[in-house]
Amino acid sequence: MTENSTEEIPDYFAEKLLNQFGDSTLAIILYGSWLRGKRDTVVDLYIIVDSYKYLDSSLDKILTNFFSPNVYQQVGENLAKDFRVKFAVIGLEQFKKRVTNDFHPYFWARFAQPTQILYVKNIKIKQALEASFKQATKRMITESVPMLPKKFTTEMLWETALRLTYSAELRSESGTAPQSIIKTSLSELKLLTESVASECSLKNAKDFWLNDTNRVDYLKKTAIWQTRFFIGKGLSIMRLLKAVFTFENPLDYLVWKIERHTGIKEEPTKLQRKYPLIFSWSLLWRLYRKGGFR
């Protein structure tokens, strides 16, 4: 593939990964900043599988069963620009459980937002995914509404929801990322909200939604979010450590992403690249002190 229009890049990577994971592939989902129009970014994909037989090693299989999903990256070949894909691999049943039951918002926060199914094996799997997306949206809303005032707009709802969920992870994006997402996706977010409003007990009053959360529920939810903020940082560090085993050149990807979002530039040494678990801590600390991630 020597020439590509930019808009075909997700399909290019989807086809490449479909060939890689073969008949175990149930679906390929596009999400994230590419859908919001950014083209100086990675393509974010989820590969939903029925088994992990095509993973590269026994260690990969152990890691994804213990702490899903496994996340990998690839750089496109023979493309006009240096496009890359970051893709997560997870089983369908595990995906559904994580979206529905997880205390931490890592899964349901991502799939509450607009997504696009690039490939699906059959209609039954498509319906299962759409049900999971809907469940994620409901979870995002119901977990966020108690933190809102008595009257709020859809824009206020999603800004609060995104701010809360971003704060529950180590992120390199700036503090204005929620507003940026809303600016580019507000029409889709309004449709998503309206589609689950009755199931989330949202009451409409002209241009506003009404919040009947009482003081006790507010305090309970505040405590829940504070707990998520606390454990989320630890989970993010664990995912970062795990990426050492699944990513090719993980430090280079990390510093590239941080520079793209913040302008903060650091260069890993040869020793840090070769033994990231041992020697990269000083680099990570410098990035953190400079505001590379929060």
Provide the CATH number for the domain around residue 92: 3.30.460.10
103 falls within a domain: yes
Please write the tens of the pLDDT for every residue from 98-156.
999 999 999 999 999 999 999 999 999 999 999 999 999 999 999 999 999 999 999 99
pLDDT band at 2 (very low <50, low <70, confident <90, very high): very low
pLDDT band at 172 (very low <50, low <70, confident <90, very high): low
Entry field: residues in the chain = 294
Q: Within 82-148, where are the H helices?
A: 92-101, 106-111, 123-144
CA atoms within 13 A on the CB side of 138: 16
1 falls within a domain: no
For the record, the structure tokens of 177 come out as 């990322």
Mean pLDDT, all residues of the chain: 87
Query: For residue 191, what are the contacts with CB-CB under 8 A and spacing of at least 6?
Result: none
Question: CA of 162: how far to CAs of 26, 56, 137, 150, 234, in Å?
Answer: 29, 34, 12, 19, 19
Compute the distance between CA of residue 209 and CA of residue 207 in angstroms, rounded to an integer: 7
Q: Nearest Cα to 71, choosing from 207, 217, 244, 232?
A: 244
User: Residue 3 above 60 pLDDT?
Assistant: no
168 falls within a domain: yes
Higher per-residue pLDDT: 89 or 240: 89
Q: In total, how many domains does the chain have?
A: 1
Domain limits for position 207? 6-248
273 falls within a domain: no
User: Residue 4 above 70 pLDDT?
Assistant: no
- Least confident among 40-54, 96-110, 182-196, 256-270: 256-270
Output DSSP code: residue 40: S
Please write the tens of the pLDDT for every residue from 239-280.
887 877 777 777 777 777 777 667 778 888 888 877 777 777
Compute the distance between CA of residue 210 and CA of residue 197 in angstroms, rounded to an integer: 11
What per-residue confidence (pLDDT) applies to 294?
66
The pTM score is 0.86
254 falls within a domain: no
